[in-house]
Amino acid sequence: MSTNLSPEAKLAEQDYNEANTLDDKIVKLEKFISLVPKHKATEKMVARLRSRLVKHKSELEDKKRRQKSLSKGPVWVIPKEGDAQVSLVGVANSGKSQLLKILTGSNTKVGDYPYTTEKPEPGVLDCDGAIIQLIDLPSIFLNIRNESKNGAMLFSQIRAADLIIFLIDLSENPVEQMNLLIEELYSGSIRVNKEKPPIELRKTGSGGAILIGEDKIDASREEIIEILHDQSLYNFSLKIIKEMTLTDLVEALDYSIAYSKGIIVANKGDQQGSKENFEKLKSAYGQQFLILPVSATKHDGLDELKEKLFDHLGLVRIKSKEPNGGIAPKPIVLKKGATVSDVAKIIHSRFYDNFKLAKIYGPSAKFDGQTVGLNHELKDGDIVEIFAD
């Protein structure tokens, strides 16, 4: 395997081959992979090494799970409360704690010195009746996964969230910050605003390997099957749905990867040079991310932030009209795509079981008071009046 590698990489390979424990194998293999130059000629080799890494990691997970059932270690994920959980991710001093404080009234510590925030700190944000749990997190720095004892726990908190806010300090180089955050999250097996490479994999009891759509990968049948063998898969049917590389296939097989959604909030818009930095950030990341400019200390852009944040969570707020004609003060918060039947079930099973008709007022109604059935899809801001027998 070690043709055309640097002496350093060859040494790393040897170290890996000599490693005995799973932990050690993972560390050594990661180091080896990092030392292999990445280009077309090494692509398949790197994919193969990554697939081994996936295997080692899942073995380690299994081992930990078995041990955990005996003794429970500390868990750091803040239990979800409200309608959605959002994590604040940024380098030191970007203003995460300041933003949490201003949006939620939480009294998390804001510091003039870096790393003021040592553990996750939740706050509650009211988005027109939807309750969003916002979580202030310790700052991200280079190689945090290996350098910080809390790295793994930090990542578990980030993965658990429904959305990530990348908080960028516009008084410092914004593209460097964002590159760092994305790379660190990547190393913690978190991909942001990316689709999981689409495959359909089914384990079969016998029959060996069945490949469908193998022409969509630029690799031989044997090379594809080797990757699955690495994961101890021998009898399976695999359908490749879109064009992808061997590396994508390895990613798709790696169940430890989280695919998260994120937006960028560009803070300190009141600082000198922030406009130029905002433009730089936009040209580097504007295609992949929604970017919202704010100033957490001057309270600029916060209403727009709340609005767009809610929209990105993929939720809708629906109010019900009561028999006395009054409108419930608190909305019911549902996933986009929710229908009248979802609302009926929540109000009372009677409304669902004996449903007659509903009247709709608001964005999804062709006209106010439009009569609709259980399957009518609702939009954010709708008011629903349900009639039952």
Ligand X SMILES: Nc1nc2c(ncn2[C@@H]2O[C@H](COP(=O)(O)OP(=O)(O)O)[C@@H](O)[C@H]2O)c(=O)[nH]1
- Binding residues for ligand X, per CB under 6 A? 90, 92-98, 110-112, 116-117, 139, 267-268, 270-271, 295-297
For ligand X, the closer of residues 103 and 360 by Cβ is: 103
3-state secondary structure the chain: CCCCCCHHHHHHHHHHHHCCCHHHHHHHHHHHHHHCCCCHHHHHHHHHHHHHHHHHHHHHHHHHHHHHCCCCCCCCCCCCCCCEEEEEECCCCCCHHHHHHHHHCCCCCCCCCCCCCCCCEEEEEEECCEEEEEEECCCCCCCHHHHCCCHHHHHHHHHHCCEEEEEEECCCCHHHHHHHHHHHHHHCCEEECCCCCCEEEEECCCCCEEEECHHHECCCHHHHHHHHHHCCCCCEEEEECCCECHHHHHHHHCCCCEEECEEEEEECCCCCCHHHHHHHHHHHHCCCCCEEECECCCCECHHHHHHHHHHHCCEEEEEEECCCCCECCCCEEEECCCEHHHHHHHHCHHHHHCEEEEEEECCCCCCCCEEECCCCECCCCCEEEEEEC
Provide, rounded to whole angstroms, the least separation between the CB of residue 155 and ligand X. Answer: 18
320 binds, among ligand X, Mg ion, none (CB under 5 to 8 A by kind): none
For ligand X, the closer of residues 133 and 267 by Cβ is: 267
Provide, rounded to whole angstroms, the least separation between the CB of residue 309 and ligand X. Answer: 17
297 binds, among ligand X, Mg ion, none (CB under 5 to 8 A by kind): ligand X
For Mg ion, the closer of residues 51 and 85 by Cβ is: 85
For ligand X, the closer of residues 223 and 270 by Cβ is: 270
**Closest-approach residue to Mg ion (CB):** 117
For ligand X, the closer of residues 37 and 111 by Cβ is: 111
Contact by Cβ (8 Å): 145, 156: no
For ligand X, the closer of residues 51 and 267 by Cβ is: 267
Provide, rounded to whole angstroms, the least separation between the CB of residue 46 and ligand X. Answer: 35
92 binds, among ligand X, Mg ion, none (CB under 5 to 8 A by kind): ligand X
Cβ contacts of 74 within 8 Å, gap of 6 or more:
153
CA distance 353 to 260: 37
Provide, rounded to whole angstroms, the least separation between the CB of residue 265 and Mg ion. Answer: 14
Provide, rounded to whole angstroms, the least separation between the CB of residue 102 and ligand X. Answer: 8
364 binds, among ligand X, Mg ion, none (CB under 5 to 8 A by kind): none
Provide, rounded to whole angstroms, the least separation between the CB of residue 97 and Mg ion. Answer: 3
Provide, rounded to whole angstroms, the least separation between the CB of residue 289 and ligand X. Answer: 18
Q: Which residues sit at the interface with Mg ion, rule CB under 5 A?
A: 96-97, 116-117
Provide, rounded to whole angstroms, the least separation between the CB of residue 362 and Mg ion. Answer: 39
For ligand X, the closer of residues 102 and 252 by Cβ is: 102
260 binds, among ligand X, Mg ion, none (CB under 5 to 8 A by kind): none
For ligand X, the closer of residues 103 and 332 by Cβ is: 103
**Closest-approach residue to ligand X (CB):** 95
Residue whose pair of structure tokens reads 């994305």 in the numeric block:
182
